[in-house]
Chains A and B, each alone.
Chain A
Amino acid sequence: MFKRAEETGAPALSFTFEGKPLKARSGDTIAAALLAADERIFRTTPVTETPRGPFCLMGVCFDCLVEIDGVPNRQACMVQVEEGMQVRRQSGSAEVIS
C-alpha cells in the first residue's frame, strides 16, 4: 500500500473524497493525496464503466479524471489540493459506484 516516506512538517489541508474527510499536505496534488490515503479508484470509464486510477501522474493519460467542487473532467494529478475541496469520483454512468 501507499504511505508517506517521511514527515516533512508541511502544513496539513483538509478535503473530502466521496464525502469522506481526508488530509493532504500543502503542495500535494489531489492524486498524490488520494494515493497517500490508499485510494485507488478515481473514476469509471464511459464505455464499459470499469474502474480506473492514476496511471502516469504527469498529465498525459487522463485516467485520474475526477470531479472537483462540481466541475467534472479535472486531472487529479495536475490540480493541487486546496482547503475544503470536495472531490468525487467521475462516474462513467449515471450511477455512483460504491
Chain B
Amino acid sequence: MSATTKNRYDVAIIGAGPAGMAAAVEVTKAGLSAIVLDEQPAPGGQIYRGIETSDEKRTKILGPDYAAGRDIARAFRDSRAEYLPGATVWNIDSALGIDVSLGQGSKHIQAGAIVVATGAIERPTPMPGWTLPGVTTAGALQILLKANGVVSDDVVFVGSGPLLSLIAAQMLKAGVKPRAIVETVPQSRYVAALKHLPAALGAASYLLKGMAMMLSLRRAGVPIYRDATGIRIEGNGKAEAVTFTSGGKSHRLETTSVALHQGIVPNQQVTRLLRCEHEWNKSQHCFVPKVDEYFETTMADVYVAGDGAGIGGAVAARLRGRLAGLRIAEKAGRGNAQERRSVTDALMREAKIRPLLETLYAPSPEILAPADETLVCRCEEVTAGDIRKAVDLGAPGPNQVKSFLRSGMGPCQGRMCGLAVSEIIASRRGEPISEIGYYRIRPPLKPLLLSELAALESEEAVPVDLADESAALH
C-alpha cells in the first residue's frame, strides 16, 4: 500500500468494500498498477464499516461474518494498490478519465480500466411519515453500531429482509432490546418461496443463521408483528409512533426511533453516468447494469463488481471483485484460468440462496404504490400524487417528470426516489418498468464547491457542464 503519487493507472477501482478491495489485490498481484478511490476515511465499505477500528467486544456483537472483513482489509493494505480515502468521484468521461473531489481540491486520474465497486443502497421506502427525524434506514443504525458503537434503545424495525432481523439481533447482543419488529411480508409469500427451498438448502448455512437470529429475538421477547399493512409513522416534527394493522388488529407503538428496510438495490449512479446499459431484474425488483460473465459492462474496460452488479451479498461481492480483477489481468496477458474457474464455481454456490430470499423478501406492495399524499422525492418534497398528475398530463418517463416537478433534482440526485418514481410512472401508464427506464444521471455525481472546480490540477480536465441542473443545490 502506498500513497498516491501519479495520475495514470492500469486500473482505477471505485469503492473500498469487499469487491473493490478484492479487485485491487488481484490486479496488483498480476503486476498492474491500481488506485482505489473511496469516500470513507477507512476501507471496508458499508458491510465492513469500521473493520479496522472495531474492538473485540464490538466485533463479537457484529458476528463472524463481519469479522471476516478483517482479513480482506489486511490483504488490501498489504497489496501494492494505491489507496485514496476521503475521495468522492464526481465525473468519469468516456475515455475513462476520472475527476475526484478530495474536499480541498479536485484530482484528475486516467485509468486503463475501471472497476465500479460502489455497492448497494437501501431501497427507497416511501410511506407516510418516512421523512420525520428519528426515522432512518435499518442500515443506518447498523452503521452507527459498526463505526461508532452508538445504539438506540427503543427501535421499531419496519419492513422485511435478512438485514432487518440481522440488525435487530445485533442490537440485542449490544444490550438494547428492539421495541418491536413489524414485518411486511405477505403470508402468500411464504408459499411462493417454498419452491425455492430445495435450491436454498445448497446454502444451508445462511438458512441456519437466519433461523438462529429469529430464535434469539423471539427468546428475548421482542414482539414480532407479521403481515403488517397500513403502516404510518406519526409525529409532530419528530417520530413519535408507528401505527399499522396486523393479525386483523390495529396497533400503535410509541417510539422515537423507526428503522425502515425493504432490501437493498444496486447503487446505479456511476454506471448510469457512464451510459452503461441497464436491465430490469424482475426477481430483485430493481435495475441492474448488463454485465458479461466476468462482470464487464456494455462499456469496454468498465467492470461492475459487488452488489452494484445485482445483489449477491458480501461473500459474492468479494468473489466478483476477484473475478473482475482476474479478467483485467487476463486481458493484459497475465491470466490465471484455473483461479478464474474456481472463483466462478464459488460464485455459483453463493447464488443458491438468492431465489428464496428474493421471493420471500420482495418489496412490500405498499411501498411500491404509495398513497397520493406520500412524499416520494425527499429533497424536493414531491408526492406520489404529483407524479401521477404529471403522468396524466403527458410526462412519459422519469426525465420528463423531473422537468415538471424537480423530483430527482435535489442534492441526492435521485438516489432516494429514482426507483419509486419509475415504478409509479410504469404503473400509472400501464407499461412495464423496463420500458419506462430511469433518470438520466449527469455530473457532478455529488454536489461540489465551485472552489474545488477552480482548483483542478489541469485546465483541460473540466468536462462538466456547469449549467447542468443536477449541479444545483439550494
Residues of A within 8 A of B (CB): 1-6, 8, 25, 27-29, 32, 35-36, 40-42, 45-48, 50-63, 65, 73, 78, 80, 92
Contacts and interface: CB of A to CB of B under 8 A. Distances in A.
Interface string B142-179: 01110111111110000000000000000000111000
B136 A56 contact: yes
Contacts of A8: 55, 149
Interface of B: 39, 41, 46, 53, 55, 57-58, 61, 121-122, 131-137, 139-140, 143-145, 147-154, 174-176, 237-238, 256-257, 267, 378-381, 410-412, 415-416, 446-447, 473-474
Contact of B121 (A1, A41, A42, A60): A60
> Would you call the interface of chain A mostly helix, strand, loop, or mixed?
loop
B237 A51 contact: yes
Among B41, B149, B175, B474, chain A packs the most CB atoms within 10 A around the CB of: B149
5 contacts: A3-B150, A35-B144, A45-B381, A51-B238, A60-B412
A32 B135 contact: no
B133 A40 contact: yes
A61 B447 contact: no
B156 to A, nearest CB: 14
Nearest to B42: A27
B412 A78 contact: no
A2 B257 contact: yes
Given A5-B174, A27-B53, A62 B154 contact: no
10 closest cross-chain pairs (CB), A and B: A53-B133, A57-B140, A62-B411, A40-B133, A46-B474, A32-B148, A47-B381, A62-B412, A5-B151, A5-B174
Given A5-B150, A27-B53, A58-B46, A63 B134 contact: no
Contact of B176 (A5, A52, A56): A5
A41 B133 CA distance: 6
A31 to B, nearest CB: 9
B122 A56 contact: yes
Contacts of A47: 380-381
Nearest to B448: A73
Given A4-B149, A47-B380, A73-B447, A59 B39 contact: yes
B39 A78 contact: yes
Among B58, B136, B446, chain A packs the most CB atoms within 10 A around the CB of: B136
Given A4-B149, A47-B381, A56 B154 contact: no
Nearest to A37: B150
Nearest to B39: A59
Contacts of B55: 6, 8
Nearest to B141: A57
B404 to A, nearest CB: 15
B47 to A, nearest CB: 11
Given A52-B131, A53-B133, A56-B121, 15 more contacts: A1-B152, A2-B150, A8-B55, A27-B148, A28-B148, A32-B148, A35-B150, A51-B237, A55-B135, A55-B137, A55-B416, A57-B140, A73-B447, A78-B39, A92-B474
A5 B131 CA distance: 26
A59 to B, nearest CB: 6
Contact of A58 (B131, B140, B378): B140
A5 B149 contact: yes
B388 to A, nearest CB: 19
A17 B121 CA distance: 29
A18 to B, nearest CB: 15
B450 to A, nearest CB: 12
A28 B50 CA distance: 11
